[in-house]
Amino acid sequence: MYATVMHGPGDVRYEQVEDPKILKPTDAIIKLAATCICGSDLWPYRGLSDQDGPAHMGHEYCGTVVEVGSEVRNIKPGQFVVGSFILSDNTCPHCDFGFQSSCVQREFMTGAQAPYARVPLADGTLVATNEIPDADMIPHMLATSDVLGTGWYAADASQVREGGTAVVVGDGAVGLMGVLAASQMGAGRVIVMSRHKDRQKLALEYGATDIVEERGEDGIGRIMDLTNGVGAESVLECVGMEESMHQAMGVCRPGGTIGYVGVPHGVSFDGQQLFFGQKRMLGGPAPVRRFLPDLMDRVLAGKIEPGKVFDLVLPIAEVAEGYKAMDERRAIKTMLRVEE
């Protein structure tokens, strides 16, 4: 088959590779209904993270099971499934505690920007629907695999509460999903830091109540003005840069909580600032598997439409253009149609 391979910064190719095979008895092979490009894929694309040789890309996926290993008990061929970008057995002590992203058998999904993919730890990772979803549901189901689950974790980790105030730092796909999540969790006020009109529009549709375009100290000052000098009790940090973390720390009130899900690049902390700031912090790779059944149910019930975050849809053979469009900020998030 053909699949997406990144050979180096800016060098993404859709090229012939070996078909995926069952390698372990706990594996499954799925035929993808759709896949997409993640913002984190842009780090190696931009040369900002190390890459050891050509890499098979893609970790967001949904589709139909075509084959399972001999030890897979719960997942069956013919089922439509969604899986997390982190593979887990869903039975270890960390999984039982709700942190499948720290599973003792943890692996990271790869190779999903392709027509078929191997999913290790299938029983623990995949969640099946009762029926095959309609075609118009596929973008929304795909979004639950990572981007929605990560935004949801940011809101959960920041302890968004009914009637509370949440600030979302970052207006990329994850930040927009954080807006949706905070709204769904009942936040009375959702302030999003955004400079881009198209993203602002979607943020408002997802439940944002205020838009702050300022950055740095000006952005912190603006949010302090909006909150009468108090700050927000819940802050969702969805970028992972030094400036974005500084803004998150600056707008979080004493006793408040920062949920950080942006993969950190160049972020450092001052011990004195942490000590006297009195702010909680919880984050890291999202335990999407914890949230998947609920998020899939919300999608299938028509309560949320996270797939609207895909503002560019391309055939998978044009994946290189999808990367370029996201790199140049011509697209928030690219969905890739998997052709027969």
Write the pLDDT tens digit of every residue in 287-306.
Answer: 999 999 999 999 999 999 99
Residue 156 pairs in a beta bridge with: none
Nearest to 287 by CA among 295, 279, 298: 295
Q: What is the pLDDT of residues 194-237, one digit of tens each?
A: 999 999 999 999 999 999 999 999 999 999 999 999 999 999 99
Q: Which two tokens stand for residue 333?
A: 């998030």
Q: Model confidence at 51, in pLDDT bands (50, 70, 90)?
A: confident
Nearest to 123 by CA among 196, 167, 65, 183: 65
- The values of phi and psi at residue 198, to 5°, are -65, -35
Residue 258 has pLDDT above 90, yes or no: yes
CATH of 151-283, one of 3.40.1710.10, 3.40.50.720, 2.60.40.730, 3.90.1580.10: 3.40.50.720
pLDDT, position 290: 98
Is 141:133 a contact under the CB 8 Å cutoff? yes
Q: Which two tokens stand for residue 158?
A: 């920041």
Helix boundaries (H) for the chain: 42-45, 93-96, 122-125, 138-144, 147-157, 173-184, 197-205, 216-226, 242-251, 271-277, 288-300, 319-327
Residue 340 has pLDDT above 60, yes or no: no
CA gap 225, 172 in Å, rounded: 24
Q: Where are the domains of the chain?
A: 2-146+287-337, 151-283
Q: Model confidence at 16, in pLDDT bands (50, 70, 90)?
A: very high
Q: Model confidence at 323, in pLDDT bands (50, 70, 90)?
A: very high
Is 4:46 a contact under the CB 8 Å cutoff? no
Is 127:90 a contact under the CB 8 Å cutoff? no
Instruction: Please name the residues in contact with 121: beta carbons below 8 A apart, sequence gap of 6 or more.
Output: 26, 87, 88, 89, 90, 103, 105, 107
pLDDT, position 248: 96
CATH of 2-146+287-337, one of 3.10.310.70, 3.30.420.40, 3.90.1580.10, 3.90.180.10: 3.90.180.10
- The values of phi and psi at residue 204, to 5°, are -65, -40
